[in-house]
Amino acid sequence: MTLIGAQLTHSTESYVEFVDLLKKIEFSEPSNYPTLSDPFIAAQWVPICVLVVFAYSRLYSLQAINYVQKKYRKTLLARLLKRLIKRTGNSS
């Protein structure tokens, strides 16, 4: 019974019938937007902008650090430093 009810309530047939009955769709742009001089606009958007800038700068800086680390691990200098560290670690 549950499957039959789900089929009847969530089928697209009712949506198709509703769309077929539409004759004309009128769209009107809302006119009650707040003005940019409203102080509540800044109070609403400044914290969001700060968080977004912080999140993206953190993301891109971590990606850059990881990229440099991956490239550095493959260099000859990195291999030589690892050998040097192993030798000094074994002797002490």
What is the pLDDT, as a whole number, of residue 42?
77
10 contact partners, CB below 8 Å, separation of at least 6: none
pLDDT tens-place string over residues 21-61? 877 777 788 777 777 777 777 788 888 899 999 999 999 99
d(CA 79, CA 86): 11
Residue listed under structure tokens 């009650």: 32
| Share of residues in the chain with pLDDT > 90 (%) | 17
* Domain boundary assignment for the chain: 39-92
What is the pLDDT, as a whole number, of residue 50?
92
pTM: 0.43
More confidently predicted of 12 and 54: 54
16-55 burial, b for 16+ CB within 10 Å, e for fewer?
eeeeeeeeeeeeeeeeeeeeeeeeeeeeeeeeeeeeeeee
